[in-house]
Amino acid sequence: MNALNDSTPKTSARKPVTIHSHGLGLEFVRTVVARHGGTIDGHAAPGAGATFCISLPRAR
């Protein structure tokens, strides 16, 4: 998960401009999921985007 949370430049398929990001949105999601007892898993492939799976425990 930490490999997806770096500050490397991100690119957009719609704009030919490089966007610099620090991954704060993903870190926020990871924190919220963890505080609810869940997990988040991510997979990325160059040119194919990223997929994230969030698992949360059932409410009691």
Tens digit of pLDDT for each residue in 38-55?
A: 999 999 988 888 899 999
Convert 29-39 to b/e letters by CB count within 10 Å (16 or more is b): ebeebeeeeee
Contacts of 11 (CB under 8 A, 6+ apart): 18, 19
User: Is this model's pTM higher than 0.75 or not?
Assistant: no
- pLDDT for 36 equals 95
- pLDDT for 13 equals 55
Residue 2's pLDDT band (boundaries 50, 70, 90)? very low
